[in-house]
Amino acid sequence: MTIAGYWAWSVWDPQDGAFHSAQGAGGLGFAFPAALAAAIATGERTFAVSGDGGSMYSIAELATARQHNADITWLIVDDGGYGILREYMTAEFGTATATELARPDFAQLAASFGIPAHTATPDNVGEVVAATFDTDGPAVVVLPAVLKMFAPTHL
Ligand SMILES: Cc1ncc(C[n+]2csc(CCOP(=O)(O)OP(=O)(O)O)c2C)c(N)n1
Ligand SMILES: [Mg+2]
């Protein structure tokens, strides 16, 4: 449940891979633990995408990822808060309230668990994520960026 996930749910082609989303149930915090379980169960690298808000629901799983040396890449899109709610409120009322969040430095937090962490930009995030697929064990990629909603998802 993050803006990048709404885009992916609508337009991302997983090609030979599988794709799971919490879009139906709508619960924040699903992506990382679900992808972690898949990585451990299959032995194949998985890729999870969360927002900064949703990632805070499953930070503890960084320890699980480290402990099992799970082949997982976790992309955290950090837009400073509950971005989709910010966008809804601003569109409807011209301003948003209670959407801006105090939050950790996610790269430093991941590194403190002994997990390699990278900070990316919108221009190089594809390369940075792809490079983690050639590594062993968990990796975290943080993308500081404000993404816009894929509007047709919400019509
Ligand atoms: C368990 C749970 N709590 C609250 C919500 C309501 N909710 C839906 S999206 C959202 C904001 C998520 O923020 P973030 O993870 O940072 O993603 P962004 O919208 O910024 O891309 C919230 C609070 C929810 N869907 N599930
Ligand atoms: Mg956010």
Q: Compute the distance between CA of residue 10 and CA of residue 13 in angstroms, rounded to an integer.
A: 9
Q: Which ligand has an atom closest to residue 24 CA?
A: 1
Supply the pTM of this predicted model: 0.96
Distance 2 CA to ligand 1 centre (A): 7
Which of the ligands is closest to the CA of residue 148?
Answer: 1
Q: How does the average pLDDT of the chain come out, rounded?
A: 94
pLDDT at 154 over 70: no
Is residue 101 in contact with ligand 1, taking CB distance under 6 Å? no
Ligand nearest to the CA of 56: 1
Is it the case that residue 150 has pLDDT exceeding 80? no
User: In angstroms, how far is CA 41 from the centroid of its own chain?
Assistant: 20
Q: For ligand 1, say whether the CB of 27 is within 6 Å of any of its atoms.
A: yes
Residue 32 pLDDT exceeds 70: yes
Question: Tell me, what's the pLDDT at 149?
Answer: 83
> For 94-118, what is each residue's pLDDT tens digit?
999 999 999 999 999 999 999 999 9
pLDDT at 71 over 70: yes
Per-residue confidence (pLDDT) for residue 155, from 0 to 100: 61
> Could you tell me the distance, in angstroms and rounded to a whole number, from the CA of residue 20 to the centre of ligand 2?
20
Beta carbons within 8 Å of 143's beta carbon, 6+ residues apart: 75, 76, 77, 78, 119, 120, 121, 122, 125
- The pLDDT of residue 151: 75
Q: Average of pLDDT values for 48-70?
A: 98
Instruction: Give Dmax over CA atoms of the chain in angstroms.
Output: 47
Sign of the dihedral defined by the CA atoms of residues 6, 18, 13, 122, in that order? positive
| 5 pocket-lining for ligand 1 (C-beta < 6 Å) | no
